[in-house]
């Protein structure tokens, strides 16, 4: 049984057909939540990609509130560009070069034109996540991850090398990361309806404004595992993205 539902849509410029995928929630084995709000289900991001670059003609377009006939669940009788050819603009997450390319895609989109606040928030949030992807699973560099048998030595060693290199690249790109996050913060404060859960305290924490993060969390009535974890990392003055559950 397939773990996802396919849907199909056309590039408004050249009419090429593209295949998209929605993961079926009931088939998911493992779900991971990160502190920046990114969720992975079986290693796939669940948020539907709204900005598309056509793999056939390079035209960039949005699929906002998509409805039939623009999006159809019936397979058209035409040649179809598979999901992998266009999702995340065709980049590969298996190396840092791909991750940097994704950052550059978002930066270029943001430079090229002016967006409505809602769309700019979407792009800046994905840019934030893309920067964090450089050192997202930093805990995997610990020897513990080799010793508990999740990975073979070869896989652990290669993965460790990539994450440590990613951490260096992250620090090198700190200026871009900070600028983007400050702009995202200003937009979200102006448009609270676009905020996701604990996004604001988390942004303050990642900007190293730990007292402000704590202040916002203290205002929340109830405590959850998620709020406790952000507080704990704020106390440590640790600003790196971390895994909340998974």
The footprint of Zn ion (CB under 5 A) covers 11, 13-14, 16, 54, 56-57, 59
User: Contact 75/8 with Cβ under 8 angstroms?
Assistant: yes
- Measured from the CB atom, is 17 or 93 closer to Zn ion? 17
> Shortest approach of Zn ion to residue 83 CB, angstroms?
16
Q: How far apart are CA 171 and CA 218, in angstroms?
A: 30
Rounded to a whole number of angstroms, the minimum distance from the CB of residue 140 to Zn ion is 38
The residue assigned the tokens 């406790």 is 228
- Report the alpha-carbon distance of residue 121 to residue 109 in Å, rounded: 13
- Looking at beta carbons only, is 11 or 102 nearer to Zn ion? 11
The most distant pair of C-alpha atoms in the chain lies apart, rounded to whole Å, by 58
Choice between 52 and 181, CB closer to Zn ion: 52
Residue 95 CB, nearest approach to Zn ion (Å): 27
Question: Min. distance of Cβ 64 from Zn ion in angstroms?
Answer: 18
DSSP string for residues in 31-72: EEEETTS-EEETTEE-SPP-EEE-TTT--EEE--S--TTTEE
Instruction: State which residue, 89 or 156, has the beta carbon closest to Zn ion.
Output: 89
Q: How far apart are CA 62 and CA 49, in angstroms?
A: 9
């Amino acid at each position: 049984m397939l773990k996802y539902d396919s849907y199909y849509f056309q590039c408004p410029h050249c009419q090429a057909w593209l295949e998209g995928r929605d993961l079926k929630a009931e088939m998911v084995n493992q779900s991971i939540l990160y502190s920046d709000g990114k969720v992975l289900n079986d290693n796939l991001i669940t948020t539907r990609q709204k900005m598309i670059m056509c793999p056939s003609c390079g035209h960039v377009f949005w699929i906002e509130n998509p409805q039939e006939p623009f999006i159809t669940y019936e397979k058209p009788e035409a040649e179809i560009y598979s999901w992998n050819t266009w999702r995340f603009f065709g980049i590969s997450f298996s190396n840092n070069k791909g991750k940097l390319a994704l950052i550059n895609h978002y930066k270029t989109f943001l430079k090229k034109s002016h967006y409505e606040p809602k769309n700019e928030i979407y792009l800046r949030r994905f840019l934030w996540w893309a920067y964090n992807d450089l050192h997202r699973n930093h805990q995997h560099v610990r020897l513990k991850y080799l010793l508990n048998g999740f990975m073979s030595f070869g896989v652990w060693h290669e993965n460790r090398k990539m994450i440590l290199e990613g951490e260096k690249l992250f620090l090198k790109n700190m200026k871009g990361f900070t600028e983007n996050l400050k702009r995202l913060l200003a937009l979200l404060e102006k448009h609270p309806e676009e905020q996701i859960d604990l996004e604001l305290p988390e942004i303050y924490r990642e900007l190293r404004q730990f007292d402000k993060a704590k202040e916002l969390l203290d205002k929340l009535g109830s405590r959850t595992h998620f709020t406790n974890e952000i507080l704990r990392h704020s106390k440590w003055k640790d600003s790196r993205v971390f895994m909340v559950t998974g």
